[in-house]
Structure 1
Amino acid sequence: MANGDLKEHLSGKRGPSILTWERRLCIAAESAQGLEYLHNGCKPQIVHRDIKTTNILLNEKFQAKLADFGLSRSFPLGTETHVSTVVAGTPGYLDPEYYRTNWLTEKSDVFSFGVVLLEIVTNQPVIDMKRERSHIGEWVGLMLSRGDINSIVDPKLQGEYDPNTIWKVVETAMTCLNPSSSRRPTMTQVVMDLKECLNMEMARNMGSRMKDSTNDTSIEVSINFTTELNPAAR
């Protein structure tokens, strides 16, 4: 894809340009929609099994596409709610319930996507043995218990975001990481949450642009007004 994968942009391997919070929300929402289609739009249902930032590709317009279906599994048509299969996936993104039981469901993808959301917010490694908590989910949970969400946000964003949308995305991500798959949201619910956050951030940015435009106009009017009233140089 023209713009590589999401991981490259978060890590800076694609150059100094920074993904804005609005762009990150857009990528998250589009990825979630792709995953929701696999779970609900495909017959039979497909579970990806390897959702991670390196498997979210970006085209020339930075639109997100899910990639690498080498580990994906389809469910037989019928009443089955899970497939018993050999565990496969990437450490850190792997659903611990699936790892423990060998029962694969669409909620295993939901867990992996929750990890991706935390990466998008924090730009932190999924596993870092130097942290107080090595897994990103446990680390974020610890930091949230201390009450300061700004400490987990990617500093590259330089405060250019609505804290309410950060909270909403983190809450969604942590729900996705629930140890019990039955208590995780569906991807349909995740898509709704992310679209709500995206709309809020777009409205915030639109308001900022309108304010800047108004200020520019005021300056221009002020300059013209002063010029017209002052006597011309002789």
Structure 2
Amino acid sequence: MIVHHKNLVSLIGYCKEDDHMALVYEFMSNGNLRQHLFCMDDATNTTVLNWNQRLQIAADAAQGLDYLHNGCKPPIVHRDLKPSNILLTENMRAKIADFGLSRAFSTDTSTSSISTTLAGTPGYIDPELHASGTLNKKSDVYSFGIILFELITGLSVQIKNTERIMHIVEWVTPMIEEGDIRKIIDPRLGNDFDVNAAWKAVEIAMWCAQRTSKQRPDISQVIAELKGCIGRNDENVQSEMTSLEMASYSYTLPEAR
């Protein structure tokens, strides 16, 4: 009840009648992000999110996460960030929902961590958490990176092909190496996106989805990069921006679970 931010879904109250209990949240008229990205065969949902909407949704979610990580005392880690937990207003602005798995830290440093039982949704769970059971704010940053890849590609975290199920990072990595952004971008967008902004978004997503937490940015850094990405898309400018440190990373692909 004390957590309030424009990019977090507000808890209105609760109801209890005999054995029936419910939490009441503000109404989000456009449902959740998963419905708009992956349920296009639904007759009630025939529109495709445009490129600018996708960037804005990512920025909104990052700002909500930044409030949890850096604006709350003690900081809060969400633990289950995924498209179905990102809800959309009538103007397609995003708010993070479902804090059922959230945990608070005793300190506000980015390196603080707690040992915890594994929780979250397969594919979005920090691979470092799988290995060590140690949770910190960068665990949410990893999940955010996976969601950003889903926004960019229009594909879900687990991609099925004829042979096996691939994790989205495993699928996108060779595409990045090929250097053809049009093989990465959701084909439903056609040519309605800025190539430079798209590459920037891919860099941000890969930065967030690094194997270890030390290699990932704080979510406040992600917000700054996304704002630049949105500005580049809106203005369609060719000016150079600060590049992310991509060349030296060594990435081990997570298993699809």
TM-score range, shorter chain: 0.7 to 0.9
**Deviations along 1:95-134, whole A, 9 cap, x unmatched?**
0001110100000000000000000000112112417870
Looking at structure 2, the residues matched to 149 and 203 of structure 1 have their Cα atoms a distance apart, in angstroms, of: 19
Q: Which has the higher helix share?
A: 1
Q: Is the 8 A contact 1:162 1:204 kept in 2?
A: yes
Q: Pick one of 64, 75, 85 that aligns with 1:45.
A: 75
Looking at structure 1, the residues matched to 145 and 165 of structure 2 have their Cα atoms a distance apart, in angstroms, of: 17
What is residue 158 of structure 1 aligned with on the other side?
190
Identity of aligned residues (%): 49
Q: Scaled by the length of structure 1, what TM-score is found?
A: 0.83
> Within 5 Å, which residues of 2 pair with 1:106-117?
106-117=137-148
Q: Give the structure with higher Rg (CA).
A: 1
Unmatched segments (≥5 aa) in structure 1: 206-234
Unmatched segments (≥5 aa) in structure 2: 1-27, 238-257
Q: Is the 8 A contact 1:56 1:65 kept in 2?
A: yes
Q: Pick one of 4, 20, 35 that aligns with 1:8.
A: 35
2:178 is equivalent to residue 140 of structure 1: no
**How far is the alpha carbon of 1:78 from its aligned partner?**
7.2
Name the CA shift for 1:83/1:9 in 2 (closer, same or farther; >3 Å): same
Secondary structure, counterpart of 1:118 in structure 2: helix
Q: Pick one of 117, 126, 145 that aligns with 1:95.
A: 126
Secondary structure, counterpart of 1:134 in structure 2: strand
Over the aligned positions, Cα root-mean-square deviation in angstroms equals 1.7
Q: Which has the higher strand share?
A: 2
2:146 is equivalent to residue 119 of structure 1: no
**Deviations along 1:22-44, whole A, 9 cap, x unmatched?**
11111110110000110000000
Q: Scaled by the length of structure 2, what TM-score is found?
A: 0.76
Looking at structure 2, the residues matched to 204 and 23 of structure 1 have their Cα atoms a distance apart, in angstroms, of: 16
What is residue 136 of structure 2 aligned with on the other side?
105
Looking at structure 2, the residues matched to 134 and 78 of structure 1 have their Cα atoms a distance apart, in angstroms, of: 35
What is residue 62 of structure 2 aligned with on the other side?
32
Looking at structure 1, the residues matched to 32 and 230 of structure 2 have their Cα atoms a distance apart, in angstroms, of: 20
Q: How many residues align?
A: 205
Moved over 4 A (4+): none
